Structure 1
Amino acid sequence: MRTTWLALILFLALLVVLGSTTPARTQEVDKDRIDRAVNYAVAFLKRNQAGPGFWVHNGGGPEDEYNIGATALVGLALLESDVPRDDRALAGAANLVRGALPRLTLTYTVSLAILFLDRYRGGKDPELVRRLALRLAAAQNQADGGWGYNVPMLSPQAEANWMANLKRLKNAKNIQGNGQQLAPGTNSDNSNTQFAVLALWVARVHDIPVDYCLLLAEWHFRTTQHSNGGWNYGLNLGGPAGDPPTPSMTCSGLLGLAIAYGTKREQAASLRAGGDKLEGGAAKPMPLPRFDIDSDQAVQRAKAFLAGSLRKQRTEIPHFLYFLWSLERVSVTYRWKDYDGIDWYAYGSNILLNDQQR
């Protein structure tokens, strides 16, 4: 992921998100100070628009796709802080992102566009989300189950073909990659994969049958986890690459596993609703299988890896702000209050509060 200005946007987005996240605390956190910090962050974002509802990532104008992604990320942060949807900055961001959709070709940007527009419009943009989600599905690497940087354009016929293919694969079993060796430089990475999986999970509510994609991503994460419980950024087909595991990419793996669990529960609930047939044709409800994600050994190892990471100096953690953003997503998803006694919310919020510039 490109850094510099995007790192600052992640900082502010995370600060706003932490301010709107209110889990039960195991340590004291200065809520009033957090509220003030969120207000400062929102004011900063509004002051630093490059135009109405437009934020710059690293130079360039509204035609730069990275700026579209940054704008969508800021829009999400403002929505998390309860900025009204008719706010000029938010409305401008939504118009900019919507207008750019036909030319978006990056996984980060397409994923953030789905997340932002679905949240901004309250699920009232199903056609836009559907088309973007089909492009993300087409971008998934069938060899290793992850995503790289690029997303293809699809013709109307190709969209129809992908929709039919996803419906056919919706209840496929024993999903795994096809094992084909990829050309150099085309392998997936766990950062792009995290964003794609989050976006496709959101797209499901619009009747996009992405179960196959999400379960193939689960296979991707289960086959690339390191023995110490972590995940790294890049991959080699059939196992982890040489770069060491990092906390932020370990959060990516945990999110992928959690979303796969959610997908399987929904599949089981759907089968249960159909049920077996009793005499006379009445439906016999099927028991819903028990899915205990916290007992999953891959999850336990990853959580232990993160607990060890939280005991390190922040300078030892690559892409620290990205890690905090990912840690918040994981902790809320799993409903974890702490990591081996370390309160993640107090840890992250205190660092952000002390780092914030006035």
Structure 2
Amino acid sequence: MPPVARAAVLFAAAAFTAATAGAATPEQIDAAISKGVNALKTRFKEGGGGQGVGGSYGVGPSALAGIALLEANTPATDPTVKAIAAAVRDQSYRESQTYQIALCLLFLDRLEDPADVPVIQMLGARLLVGQNARGGWTYGCVQAVPAADEQRLRAGLKGAELVAGKDASPGTYKLHPMVQEYLTALVNARGPAKAEGGDNSNTQFGILATWACRKYGLPADGALDLIERRFHATQAPDGSWTYGADTVGVAGSPAMTCAGLLGIATAIGRREEKRAKTEAPKGEPPAKTNDPFFNPPPRPDGKAAGPKRPLDVRDQAAVRGFGYLGAALRAGHQDLKKLYSLWSLERVGVLFGVDKIGGVDWYAGGSDYIIAHQAADGAWPGEYGAEVETSFAVLFLCKANLARDLSRRVRGDSGSELRAGAAAPVEAGPAPKGPVVPVNPLPVPIAAPLPPGAAGKVATDLVAAANGAGFAKSLSDARDAKGSDFTTGLAAAVHRLDGDAKKSAREALADRLARMSAATLKGLMASSDPEVRRGAVLAAAMRDDKDHIPDLIERINDEDDRVVRAARAGLRSLTGQDHGPPTDAGPGQRAAAAGAWRAWWARQKR
């Protein structure tokens, strides 16, 4: 086969006009990585370099280079890595920009020094507050950090190592009290979340860092909910995503489609976590959760461990995204001549654990192209400067994985082979009609202002107690206490809690509301707070009062899916009927289901 034809088979000849006749050998790849590492060490030996600390990109390039060096197996004790770590730690206290906050957090996460946990939590607090109402980020994350805040945080967090609680899961930490106080102050100072959509370039870094936040005690569920809604609502008909959130229906680019797939991956990962908790087989050894690449062994007959599941809306979105990427790879899309785009592609390929996308070996072709464009000094030139571009190239060649725990979940999903191998999105069936989620942005739960006065104190005290042994008592006291402040405070705490603590607080809120009068419950079902509406719906079902059936039917058309699911469950409990809607239903499906419930109820009253 002629050299150009072979390159085309590997990775679209138009994208790699300088590709070699054959795929790069492991030795050539290792040599390119080694030269790239040396180039980064030369540029960042003092912690900053080129566009690094003090340059136009601030500390971002330094943190990115540190991640690349660590992924290339450079030890944390290496002088350059130590210099970068010192620069990142120092700048983190004053950092307010999204790219830099996310990269500093990801670098410190990858460094795995327990002494950095309070700083990671501080960065995560800024990141969560900086998310807008449409689930994205833009360049500015939070307001400039006042000097007084910086000094106070330095004094309180420096050297304040945190460890996992006695009953905590591996890799989880209690939120530092000063960070909890700082997070509350940021939320209150910020006010309502911004309505603009931000851009998917900043957002993809925000996604990675938000996922990492979860193991450090930060309440990230609300942010991940909005990320999922954002990318369901903004995918173009051809399966791509574009740079902004305001250009729905416009064809996107490979890099931004990778950002979209990253957001969808977090949704798939969380779904798989829920399945693992509810469907774990009894009497079998647990999965090797400490191994991010562990996959359950096949059955003796060679077949999969269980039946293939039907694709849900998350899988369908991923199939369409991979279909677009496969077509772009085969066509040699201009975007794939950029190292930024190639690193985006690498993140998705490694995250989903696929060797080919649309039949194209993305790593072989990408490695050929990258090695062919390496400069004599080991660096790679480009639009973002040699320091940044070299980090992109090294990360690609190393097959870096910045979300190993997410990758384990996504790779374990039985539909991953279909998603990555699809040459076109038709294998998932037709795309869902209409928006998958409400088009109108929902408020960011963590960004909801803390209620004033006693209610705010109730919420703050519950959040502060969440990781301690006394949380159950604090929760029961709030549940049983008299006064509306405890109702408001409980609902506010739910927005700020995560995991089992959030679940327990929701149950406590529903128990509290179940003691209220029918008229009060009906009023609470129209609350502006979705957690209050959800709690009131569940409380009505718990009371087993059929007079509430019309009220629950109205909540079937609620804008918040959590309330809709609660209303459907309550109606099933009260009536023994089920007229929908399905999980993740769009506005049309919700309206149709509400109509079916009303028609059924009208027949019962004849």
TM-score (norm 1): 0.74
Paired position in structure 2 for 1:159 = 183
**1:33-182 to 2 correspondence within 5 Å?**
33-49=28-44, 52-57=46-51, 62-64=53-55, 66-122=57-113, 124-142=115-133, 144-152=134-142, 157-160=181-184, 182=195
Q: Assess, with a 3 A threshold, how the Cα gap between structure 1 residues 252 and 319 changes in structure 2: closer, same or farther.
A: farther
5+ residue gaps, structure 2, are 1-21, 150-177, 283-307, 377-606
RMSD, aligned α-carbons: 3.1
Q: Assess, with a 3 A threshold, how the Cα gap between structure 1 residues 343 and 272 changes in structure 2: closer, same or farther.
A: closer
Q: CA deviation at 1:64?
A: 4.1
- 1:302-331, CA deviations, whole angstroms, 9 ceiling, x for partnerless residues? 1011011112335x2277211110111101
Q: Assess, with a 3 A threshold, how the Cα gap between structure 1 residues 241 and 291 changes in structure 2: closer, same or farther.
A: closer
Q: Percent identity?
A: 36
Query: Does the 8 A contact of 1:197 with 1:217 survive in 2?
Result: yes
**1:235-274 to 2 correspondence within 5 Å?**
235-236=245-246, 240=248, 244-269=251-276
Paired position in structure 1 for 2:19 = none
Whichever residue aligns with residue 245 of structure 1, its letter is G
**1:203-352 to 2 correspondence within 5 Å?**
203-236=213-246, 240=248, 244-269=251-276, 296-313=315-332, 316-317=334-335, 320-352=338-370
Q: Assess, with a 3 A threshold, how the Cα gap between structure 1 residues 132 and 354 changes in structure 2: closer, same or farther.
A: same
Whichever residue aligns with residue 52 of structure 1, its letter is E
Q: Assess, with a 3 A threshold, how the Cα gap between structure 1 residues 268 and 134 changes in structure 2: closer, same or farther.
A: farther
Query: Does the 8 A contact of 1:107 with 1:148 survive in 2?
Result: yes
Query: Does the 8 A contact of 2:135 with 2:197 survive in 1?
Result: no
Aligned equivalent of 1:202, options 204, 209, 212: 212
Query: Does the 8 A contact of 2:268 with 2:315 survive in 1?
Result: no
Whichever residue aligns with residue 368 of structure 2, its letter is N
Asked which structure has the greater CA Rg, the reply is: 2
Q: Tell me how far apart the structure 2 counterparts of residues 339 and 249 of structure 1 sit (CA, whole Å).
A: 16
Whichever residue aligns with residue 317 of structure 2, its letter is A
Q: Tell me how far apart the structure 2 counterparts of residues 213 and 114 of structure 1 sit (CA, whole Å).
A: 16
Q: CA deviation at 1:340?
A: 2.0
Q: What secondary structure does 2:58 align onto?
A: helix
Q: CA deviation at 1:272?
A: 6.9
Q: CA deviation at 1:271?
A: 6.2
Q: Tell me how far apart the structure 2 counterparts of residues 218 and 318 of structure 1 sit (CA, whole Å).
A: 26
- 1:21-47, CA deviations, whole angstroms, 9 ceiling, x for partnerless residues? xxxxxx954000011111111111122
TM-score (norm 2): 0.45
- 1:152-171, CA deviations, whole angstroms, 9 ceiling, x for partnerless residues? 1587645136799xxxxxxx
Q: What secondary structure does 2:331 align onto?
A: coil
Q: CA deviation at 1:121?
A: 2.8
Query: Does the 8 A contact of 1:235 with 1:241 survive in 2?
Result: no
Paired position in structure 1 for 2:491 = none
